[in-house]
Structure 1
């Protein structure tokens, strides 16, 4: 499902226009992004937890050349589904 299909389906379910739905989704994503950048966790009840995790620096190898190089540490977003969400897939 691409973004346009998602917006259309969500707009129908919420009884809103696609333009209103797009604005709401963009606002929601913006707030989530800001919170994650600040290091906060987002706990969405019945869905899961969005958070950031620090990946350690590591050694990697270029498969073509065999050259080893250091991959620097980085902050990466992470998602943990709730047990309610997991149960829906059983």
Structure 2
């Protein structure tokens, strides 16, 4: 499902226009981004939790040159699905 299909499905299920559905999705993503930018976790009931995690620095080896390189630490976004969502996917 792409973004256009998602917005069409959302607008049909919520009985709103596609433009209003787009505004809702943009608002949700903005709130999600702002929350994660502040370092907080973002939870949606019956869906899951997003949080920012720090990946440690590590050493990698380039397979073609056998040269070792240090990869610096970085922030990543982690998602953990709720049990309700997991149960729905199992069915």
Normalised to the residue count of structure 1, the TM-score between the two structures is 0.94
Q: 5+ residue gaps in structure 2?
A: none
CA distance in 1, matches of 2:18, 2:87: 31
CA distance in 1, matches of 2:16, 2:60: 49
- Give the root-mean-square deviation of aligned CA atoms: 0.9
Count residues in correspondence: 90
Q: In structure 1, the residue corresponding to 2:28 is in which secondary structure?
A: helix
Q: How does 1:1-90 map to 2 (within 5 A)?
A: 1-90=1-90
CA distance in 2, matches of 1:58, 1:48: 29
Normalised to the residue count of structure 2, the TM-score between the two structures is 0.93
Deviations 1:45-85 (A, max 9, x none): 11111111100000011222221111110110000111111
CA distance in 2, matches of 1:23, 1:33: 15
- TM superposition outliers: structure 1 runs of 4+ over 4 Å: none
Q: 5+ residue gaps in structure 1?
A: none
